[in-house]
A and B are shown apart, each in its own frame.
Chain A
């Protein structure tokens, strides 16, 4: 229960960080996505059992804070969580490499979903420009942020799910 509830202050802190500092640290128009990286890092941890809850809480908080069409980020984070869990089952011993691969794939997927939703809502956003100016720089920033976020979230997961020593 604590592992689920702690997602609320964690994502509340992250939304403050994202909307005040991280969004101003741009590369062209791209920014890092702390929510995406946190959800991937949390879902990658072996002993974590609350990955779905975290993706739902993260998605809801992001939805409240953003003007993106309702449910886009929620759906995006749930799909990325399922992809992360799938990758975790099929890769061995190198979670940091999986983290980087998922950061790459997750950014492309989430941006694709956001662009699709924005387009469908009638916003005349130029897709090619958006990919060049936002998605590609964001991938690079997410790859840079992936390692520190992984380390912090891994520590949090180890604290909440301590390793059981067999007698």
Chain B
């Protein structure tokens, strides 16, 4: 009986003390006391946590580095793949621009049929100005067909195999093209030079030629179709004692940078050599 009463009293006292402490805590009267007790614990927790994290970081570094290195290698491989792709796309854009210009040229000159070809090599001899293109008789190409770009005249085919053709550039020393000058209308002849340039010969003395005049094929001789642009007159040499004037020409085609050309396939060159009287 006494024991039961005593326990009940203890319980009631404990509940009252607890409620009192809660009341004091809610009233803010226990803050200094709790600060005194909690602060060292928090500081200890912070110290232990930081040391634990440091140790954990040291233990896991090698694995992270390996993962990072692997990731770095993957990214580097990705970068080089993308760079290759960029170069390929730039080449495609460049080719597309050239092809687009060639299509424009073909549209502007609808009277001709064209076969596009890529320049794959140059003649190994330094004395000759020839290029090799990757289309041949299988594509309908024949000897004598004129070769142009969107800029102007390039040359003519002098040799054909099934899959390739050799093109003599108008800069070859053995090449000559009959031309017409605009606006004067004078007839003359373009010849190739060993330097890779072209020069204008056989201009009549009375012709009024000026720097900047356009040089176009005349169609005379039957070797090339008329009205294909070749270049502009850049300088004239006129001497009273000479039979003809001479001039230097700035070609419109950059012969060192030709990559894609058009072969005019429906132009048949005229071979008039049997009409030339033999000596």
> Are B127 and A23 in touch, CB under 8 angstroms?
no
**Which residues does chain A contribute within 8 Å of B174, judged by CB atoms?**
118, 122-125
Identify which of A19, A23, A67, A125 gathers the most chain B CB atoms within 10 Å of its CB: A67
> Are A129 and B194 in touch, CB under 8 angstroms?
yes
Binding stretch for chain A, among B116-124, B214-222, B231-239, B264-272? B116-124
A-B CB pair tally, cutoff 8 Å = 76
**Which residues does chain B contribute within 8 Å of A47, judged by CB atoms?**
none
> Are B124 and A62 in touch, CB under 8 angstroms?
yes
> Are A67 and B125 in touch, CB under 8 angstroms?
yes
Docked Cα-Cα span, A138 to B124, in Å, equals 13
Interface residues on A, range: 20 to 34
Least Cβ distance of B98 to chain A in Å?
Answer: 19
Interface status of A51 (Cβ within 8 A of chain B)? no
Question: Which residues 11-27 of A have a CB within 8 angstroms of B?
Answer: 15-16, 18-20, 23-24, 26
Out of B125, B195, B256, name the residue touching A114 (CB < 8 Å). Answer: B125
Least Cβ distance of B278 to chain A in Å?
Answer: 15
**Which residues does chain A contribute within 8 Å of B168, judged by CB atoms?**
67
> Are B159 and A134 in touch, CB under 8 angstroms?
no
**Which residues does chain A contribute within 8 Å of B196, judged by CB atoms?**
29
> Are B173 and A125 in touch, CB under 8 angstroms?
yes
Interface status of A1 (Cβ within 8 A of chain B)? no
Interface status of A130 (Cβ within 8 A of chain B)? yes
Interface size on B, residues (CB 8 A): 22
Interface status of A31 (Cβ within 8 A of chain B)? yes
**Which residues does chain A contribute within 8 Å of B191, judged by CB atoms?**
124
Chain B positions near chain A (C-beta within 8 angstroms): 120-128, 130, 132, 158-159, 166, 168, 173-174, 191, 194-196, 256
Chain A positions near chain B (C-beta within 8 angstroms): 15-16, 18-20, 23-24, 26, 29-31, 33, 35, 62, 65-68, 73, 111, 114-115, 118, 122-126, 129-130, 133-134, 138
Query: Known contacts A23-B124, A67-B125, A67-B166; can you find 20 more A-B pairs with CB under 8 A?
Result: A16-B121, A20-B122, A23-B123, A24-B122, A24-B256, A29-B194, A29-B195, A29-B196, A65-B121, A65-B123, A65-B124, A67-B158, A68-B125, A73-B125, A114-B125, A118-B127, A118-B174, A126-B173, A133-B195, A134-B194
Q: Which 7 A-B pairs have the closest CB atoms?
A: A19-B121, A123-B174, A125-B173, A18-B124, A31-B126, A23-B122, A66-B125
28 contacts between A and B (CB under 8 A): A15-B124, A16-B121, A19-B122, A20-B122, A23-B124, A24-B122, A24-B256, A29-B195, A30-B126, A31-B126, A65-B121, A65-B132, A66-B123, A66-B124, A66-B125, A66-B128, A67-B125, A67-B159, A67-B168, A68-B128, A114-B125, A118-B128, A125-B127, A126-B173, A129-B194, A130-B194, A133-B194, A133-B195
